[in-house]
Amino acid sequence: MTAFWIALQFLTTLPVSLKQLPSPQQNAQSLLFYPVVGLLIGAVLWGVASLLQFLPLVLSSSLILVLWIWLTGGLHLDGLADTVDAWVGGFGDPERTLKIMKDPSSGPIGVLSLLMCCLLKWSTLYVLLEQQYLAALLLVPVLARLSALLLFLSTPYLRAQGLGTSIQAYLPKTGAKIVIALTFASAALWGWLGLIAVLTFIFCTVYLRHKFMLRLQGITGDMVGASIEISETMVLLAIAISWFLIH
């Protein structure tokens, strides 16, 4: 269970304390529980959304988005801002891109990416709450956190001294493939919208990996965080649009 607590501590702001420093193997195994943590995040969002149905939609969607960001500590948003800053400021140069990515400050392009991401999330939340399709809140965080597993399985990690290098070395590949398969299969519970969500997620993750390999021939922690945030937003958007096409 240590691996689960590591994942919960890393991916959320929930008060989790580990009794001892985790081993490299436990850190790697924690990735297998990322979708489970995503489900817990989704369950909290779904529960709060259900309780807030008496409020005006503009207020409830805003509160849920703020809760979503608070639950994750803005971890993936930080990765998104750093990655976008580096991508634009790097001018196609790998060394310059990595150097900018290590800079903790965010430039105007990074801030703009956060505004765009939050605006899309807020508007799709508004639409889904309006249609009373709260079940989407359970699926989206689960799929998005699968990005980390897929990227670490298939893409070299660039920083030799980073935690990601150790994670990649000890990641249980068979267990990871089983978790991926089970997560995709569970999307069937959401019917056609679940299938659309999975296809959107796969397309988004494959496209991002292609861009990462094209520029840097690998990934960093910021890029993994960016992929989680982008795929989460795109899957949420795809579900909201598809709702009207299907219904």
The kind and range of the H/E element at 15 are none
pLDDT tens sequence for the chain (247 residues): 889 999 999 999 999 888 888 888 999 999 999 999 999 999 999 999 999 999 999 999 999 999 999 999 999 999 999 999 999 988 788 888 888 888 777 788 999 999 999 999 999 999 999 999 999 999 999 999 999 999 999 999 987 777 788 888 899 999 999 999 999 999 999 999 999 999 999 999 999 999 999 999 999 999 999 999 999 999 999 999 999 988 7
Contacting residues for 121 by C-beta, under 8 A, at least 6 apart: 65, 68, 232, 233, 236
What span, in angstroms and rounded, lies between the C-alpha atoms of 225 and 214?
Answer: 18
What span, in angstroms and rounded, lies between the C-alpha atoms of 83 and 90?
Answer: 10
Contacting residues for 4 by C-beta, under 8 A, at least 6 apart: 30, 33, 36, 37
Looking at the whole model, is its pTM more than 0.85? yes
76 close to 226: Cβ distance less than 8 angstroms: yes
Distances (CA, A) of 211 to 148, 152, 208: 16, 15, 5
